[in-house]
Amino acid sequence: MSTVPFARTGRRRAGHRPGQPAPTWTSVSGRRPPAPAAVLRTSLLVAASLLAVAPVLWIAVSSFKPLPQLLGDPLSLPSSLSLANYRGGFQQFDFLTYFRNSAIVTVAATLLTLALSATAGYGLAKYNFRGRNGLFVLVLATIMIPIQVILVPIFQVVVDLHLVNSLLGLIIPPAATPTGVFLMRQAFLSIPDELIEAARVDGAGEFRTFWRIVLPNARASLAVLAIISVGWRWNDFIWPLIIAQSPGVYTLPVALGLLTSQQAVPYNFILAMVVASMIPVIVIFLFLQRHVIRGIAMTGLK
């Protein structure tokens, strides 16, 4: 009597002997079906991703809508893919000046942040001195201080240094960040001390060891810190609003915020300029994204 091939009904497959465990069902590709927990986790992650991306997609699509359609039916698709909003925004909005200011502030502040965070993190990770751990705890404690609490003292220092209404006043004060020091310290802890000692034995000085040995091994963390710093500086609104007191020093967030204070708010032009202002950050992220996961993972190593 021939046996019936195994199917989902639980019948025995050809060659299956009584007493042996019954074979389990597999997919056509031979892989087991995903567990319910994995399906639920993936569904939640996809839903969260769609919720995060939906506002950005709406802004990008709405930047092509004329103002009557944008106000009358904001959820509809644009009637035509016209660049009239972008042309009108560039004509009525001094975009290039504000873009230049934002670019100068972002690039200079990011470079200064990388330099200060790398040197401070290297000292806290690789130099033994009394009070090192206490100093590191103090640096971490400053993360819990809201920026609104220290705005007045910082502004007073900027006034005393005559940096109000200048790009230097936008660059220097926010450059030193405890988050950057923490990221770089954790990255430097993962570098073996023997590697640094070998460089010193070969005659390399402290700066050369730091520049040629330590920093190349922390490229991933530097890239992560650069992306974080670019996002902070490019989108910063409170500090530039306080320091910049003339249109020639405004950054893009401040200029876009003041544009909404007009009696007749040109929302179609604002959305077009918002999309244009997002492009540099997206390009930088795409360029450095391969370092992000590795750099974030390295911050937990010691």
Report CA torsion sign: 165, 168, 173, 178: positive
pLDDT in tens, 75-117: 888 887 888 889 888 888 888 899 999 999 999 999 999 999 9
| Residue 143's pLDDT band (cuts 50, 70, 90) | confident
Superfamily of domain 93-298: MetI-like (1.10.3720.10)
pLDDT in tens, 190-241: 899 999 999 888 888 889 999 999 999 888 889 889 988 998 999 999 999 9
Share of the chain above pLDDT 70, in %: 86
CA distances from 59 to 54, 63, 65, 72, 243 (A): 9, 6, 10, 16, 29
pLDDT at residue number 292: 67
Share of the chain above pLDDT 90, in %: 39
How high does pLDDT run on average in the chain? 84
Q: Residue 191 contacts by C-beta under 8 Å, 6 or more apart in sequence?
A: 126, 214, 217, 218
Q: Token pair for residue 195?
A: 């590697």
Q: Token pair for residue 164?
A: 């109000």
pLDDT at residue number 265: 79
| Residue 264's pLDDT band (cuts 50, 70, 90) | confident
| Residue 7's pLDDT band (cuts 50, 70, 90) | very low
Domains in the chain: boundaries: 36-82, 93-298
Q: How many helices and strands, by DSSP H and E, does the chain display?
A: 14, 0
Q: pTM of the predicted model, to two decimals?
A: 0.78
Distance, C-alpha 64 to centroid of its chain: 27
Tell me the one-letter amino acid at 271: L
Tell me the one-letter amino acid at 1: M
**Taking residues 144-151, what's their average pLDDT?**
86
- How many C-beta neighbours within 10 Å does residue 5 have? 11
